[in-house]
Amino acid sequence: MKQQKKSLTIMSIVGTRPEIIRLSRVLPKLDEYFHHIMVYTRQSYDYELSDIFFEELELRRPDYFLDVKSDSLGGQIARIIEQSEAVLKKEMPDALLVLGDTNSCLSAVIAKRMHIPIFHMEAGNRSFDWDVPEEVNRRIVDHISDFNLCYTEHARRYLIREGLHPKTIFVTGSPYAEILAYYNSAISGNTVLTDLNLIPGGYFLVSVHREENIEKPDRIRELFASLGSLADAYKKPVLLSVHPRTQKKLASLGSLHPLIHCHKPFGFLEFARLEKNAFCVISDSGTIQEESAIAGFPAVQVRVSTERPEAFDAGSIIVTGFHKDALNDAIKMATGEFQEHRVIPADYRDVNVSEKVVKIILGHTAIRKYHKL
């Protein structure tokens, strides 16, 4: 039977592994409901950081691959906007979907100038910390988007307080519970523990890559000194997933503690399996709150600010600095009373976020196209 041509065209633009993971259940549904054009900016330009995730998550190949590699921030942003413009002009979609706060999301700037409706998923997050580069991006994209799809009530209230109209703001919930449920069998069957000779509860898992942490020499030195102290205190290996930004800084630190084991970035299934079985996860990721709350593993976020306060409201995450005493105290609490009384924030529990997101996009895109609102 010949497949009926889709009436509406949507373009999605992604550039990094968190975007690919968070959209992993949405992208197939866009294929189902729309003529869907997927654009991959390759912002990370590293196979382990992004490309492998399309294969691992069983996602189809993007329709366009951009080349935005640059030696400067301004150069990368310019290339993202310039190359996104070329694709948008060629395809002229009825809507654009972006997620989060990466430089790739700034493709929305040119879409706005072209009067293409923009749907922004993961909207409204606020750290109120201008040392965080993503804080700038997310505020820009929120305020030029036609529709903002927030994960939480906190995020919705932030946007309303900033003057955005309530009828353009939707709370969809976090997509991570749906993602975890979908890939649960593959995660459980992953062999990374055996491959690395690890036992459940017998190691720390560390992922630190944020610019505001890695680019400050005093901060990264203090972090690795603290990790060495943890290794001594707990006699457990510290498995460090090394982002390219972190790798560049390791040489300046000299020799690391013998129990600190550096590893190239893991795939999604490997990392989710490692998180679930770690004694404690130490991360500066912006998504660790969702992951730890939903998957149920103890975690400490090493940052001075966060854009997900709902995790604090539920008592499901601890944020601390890098000093060894503060980090050690946080780990004791995370693996003790926090783990015993863990609560999943209400906005993290939805397992049908992808359907919700696609229906919002479908309804409002159709109205705009056919009624010219």
Residue-wise DSSP of 176-219: HHHHHHHTHHHHHT--HHHHTT--TTS-EEEE---HHHHT-HHH
Does 341 share its domain with 200? yes
Q: What is the pTM of this model?
A: 0.92
- State percent of the chain over pLDDT 70: 95
Catalytic hit among 209, 243, 261, 364: 209
Q: What is the pLDDT of residue 245?
A: 67
Q: What is the pLDDT of residue 148?
A: 99
Does 191 share its domain with 328? yes
Which is nearest to 253 in space by CA: 227, 234, 284? 227
Separation CA 247–CA 261 (nearest Å): 13
Q: How many CB atoms lie within 10 A of CB 57?
A: 22
- State percent of the chain over pLDDT 90: 69
Structural tokens at position 31: 């294929």
CB 265 within 8 A of CB 49: yes
Does 33 share its domain with 92? yes
Does 189 share its domain with 325? yes
What letters, b where the CB count within 10 A reaches 16 and e where it falls short, cover 279-301? bbbbbbbbbbbbbbbbbebbbbb
Which is nearest to 193 in space by CA: 201, 185, 183? 201
Residue tagged 């129990």 (tokens): 259
Does 152 share its domain with 242? no
Work out the mean pLDDT of the chain and round it to a whole number: 91
Does 335 share its domain with 189? yes
Residue 336 lies in a domain: yes
Residue tagged 């400050």 (tokens): 216
Q: What is the pLDDT of residue 224?
A: 87
Residue 42 lies in a domain: yes
CB 200 within 8 A of CB 280: no
Does 335 share its domain with 355? no
Does 148 share its domain with 43? yes
Cβ neighbours for 334, distance < 8 A, ≥ 6 positions apart = 280, 298, 299, 300, 318
Question: In which domain, by residue range, is 36 found?
Answer: 9-173+350-371
Residue 2 lies in a domain: no
Please count the structural domains in the chain.
2
Range among 51-60, 346-355, 363-372 rated most confident: 346-355
| 51: confidence class by pLDDT, cuts 50, 70, 90 | low
Q: What is the pLDDT of residue 1?
A: 43
| 99: confidence class by pLDDT, cuts 50, 70, 90 | very high
Does 254 share its domain with 119? no
Higher pLDDT, 49 or 39: 39
What letters, b where the CB count within 10 A reaches 16 and e where it falls short, cover 113-123? eeebbbbbbbb
At 129-161, the pLDDT tens digits run 898 889 999 999 999 999 999 999 999 999 999
At 278-325, the pLDDT tens digits run 999 999 888 899 999 999 999 999 987 888 888 877 777 888 988 889
Residue 167 lies in a domain: yes
Separation CA 187–CA 253 (nearest Å): 34
Catalytic site residue 209? Answer: yes
Identity of residue 111: A
Does 259 share its domain with 167? no
Which is nearest to 241 in space by CA: 57, 67, 49, 56? 49
Q: What is the pLDDT of residue 4?
A: 67
| 38: confidence class by pLDDT, cuts 50, 70, 90 | very high
At 204-248, the pLDDT tens digits run 999 988 877 777 778 888 888 999 999 999 999 999 998 776 777
Residue 242 lies in a domain: yes
Separation CA 229–CA 238 (nearest Å): 11
Give the CA count within 13 Å in the CB-facing half-sphere of 83. 22
